[in-house]
Amino acid sequence: MSLSVVYITEAGPVVGLGHLRRCQALATALRRRGAGARFLIDGATDVAGHDAVYLDWTQEPMTVCAPVAAWHPDAVVVDSYRATPELLSRLRAIGCVIAIDDLADRAVPVHVVVNGAFHAARLSYRCAADTKLLLGPEYSLVDPAFAASPDRVPAEIVGRVLVTLGGSATASALATAVSAVRRAVPSATVDVALGLYADDLPDDGGLVIAHRGQRSLRELIRRADLAVTAGGMTLYECLATGTPAVGLCCADNQRLNIEALSRAGLVVSAEPSLRGAVRRVAADRELRWRMAAEGRRHVDGRGAERVAEAIAQVCNTAGAGRDAR
């Protein structure tokens, strides 16, 4: 069955691009199965493509229902902390509803819940008995391009470090992180990925290389011997590419992610000292080898494909039920 899918999400200077990127990764996987895609986004951004409609829906969530119903989708994917249980229930009358959620802080009356975080299976979701739960790093919604083998061997010496703190990183946060990296590994080249809404990098006399508005960080991550990254989806992209990473908590909702991955030995937490964490990883080649191997083992880049397969199955079952009635 060729599916039509609507993605409801948000993006902007406050929330960043993480929600949108997860939806785009899933849309790529579903398009490979012949599915169509429309995006309904709260927040203006020029990275969503021509199939996007912009609507300030997060203040009045029910305003999405009319345009979504007019599109007659088979499935509706919702990725936003501000999607209320009432909205999710209303959308069920339109099509199969898939919630991408990593908080489990409210009821999710949907057909499918997706949480690709390492600790997801330990969360308790309030959902229907027949809700399909796709929980854990095997369902991480990184772009399917990350499924390709990174084809790399950890370097003997860390010669290149990537710093990426999300789509809306402030100049002070970037300056602090870059300074810590340069003090920890002064001989390394430092690449800084600046998100669409991030502040400009402070002038440092050419000691670092800034990259603004990258549509994908895959090549920058692959080139890095070590990455310093915020605790969102980029951490999982690092795991998929076998790039040792230091996780820096840039928002409260990232803390559980970093703590769980750190306890499992897949990343190193930046707390209590980013400089100390970078120095530790850079100095321990065996640690970097182990992190690279274990990271790729847990996150193989095929999470979006697995989620797409599950959505297709659920929608086929729901469609068959509707036809029988």
DSSP 8-class letter at 52: E
Closest CA to 130 of 150, 108, 147, 148: 108
Q: Say yes or no: 198 and 307 in one domain.
A: no
- pTM surpassing 0.75? yes
Q: Say yes or no: 153 and 292 in one domain.
A: yes
Rounded CA gap, 155 and 61, in Å? 49
Rounded CA gap, 174 and 128, in Å? 43
Give one word for 256, left, alpha or beta, with left for phi > 0 and alpha for psi -120 to 50.
Answer: alpha
Q: What is the pLDDT along the chain (325 residues), one digit of tens a residue?
A: 589 999 999 998 888 889 999 999 999 999 999 999 999 999 876 666 667 899 999 999 999 999 999 999 999 999 999 999 999 999 999 999 999 999 999 999 999 999 999 999 999 999 999 999 999 999 999 999 999 998 888 889 999 999 999 888 888 999 999 999 999 999 999 999 998 888 887 666 667 899 987 889 999 999 999 999 999 999 999 999 999 999 999 989 899 999 999 999 999 999 999 999 999 999 999 999 999 999 999 999 999 999 999 999 999 887 644 544 4
Its domain, for residue 78, covers 4-142+302-324
Q: Say yes or no: 292 and 309 in one domain.
A: no
Q: Say yes or no: 234 and 160 in one domain.
A: yes
DSSP 8-class letter at 156: S
What pLDDT does residue 228 have?
A: 98
Strand ranges across the sheet with 36-42: 52-54, 36-42, 4-10, 75-79, 96-100, 112-115, 132-135
Looking at this protein, which amino acid is placed at residue 204?
Answer: D
Tally of residues, the chain: 325
What pLDDT does residue 50 have?
A: 62
Q: Say yes or no: 20 and 131 in one domain.
A: yes
The SS3 assignment for 64 reads: helix
Q: Indicate the burial class of 157 (C-beta count within 10 angstroms; 0-12, 13-18, 19 or more).
A: exposed
Rounded CA gap, 100 and 28, in Å? 16
Angle between helices 18-31 and 233-240 (to 10 degrees): 50
Q: Indicate the burial class of 221 (C-beta count within 10 angstroms; 0-12, 13-18, 19 or more).
A: buried
What pLDDT does residue 1 have?
A: 55
Q: Say yes or no: 25 and 125 in one domain.
A: yes
Query: How many domains does the structure of the chain reveal?
Result: 2
Rounded CA gap, 304 and 28, in Å? 8
Q: Say yes or no: 52 and 188 in one domain.
A: no
Which CATH number is 128's domain given? 3.40.50.11190
Is the CB of residue 88 less than 8 Å from the CB of residue 108?
Answer: yes
Report the chain's C-alpha Rg in angstroms: 20
Q: Say yes or no: 36 and 129 in one domain.
A: yes
Q: Say yes or no: 138 and 8 in one domain.
A: yes
Which CATH number is 157's domain given? 3.40.50.2000
Q: Say yes or no: 202 and 278 in one domain.
A: yes
Q: Say yes or no: 173 and 255 in one domain.
A: yes
What pLDDT does residue 321 have?
A: 44
What pLDDT does residue 205 have?
A: 60
Strands (DSSP E) along the chain, which ranges? 4-10, 36-42, 52-54, 75-79, 96-100, 112-115, 132-135, 160-164, 189-194, 208-212, 226-230, 245-248, 268-269
What pLDDT does residue 325 have?
A: 41
Q: Say yes or no: 235 and 281 in one domain.
A: yes
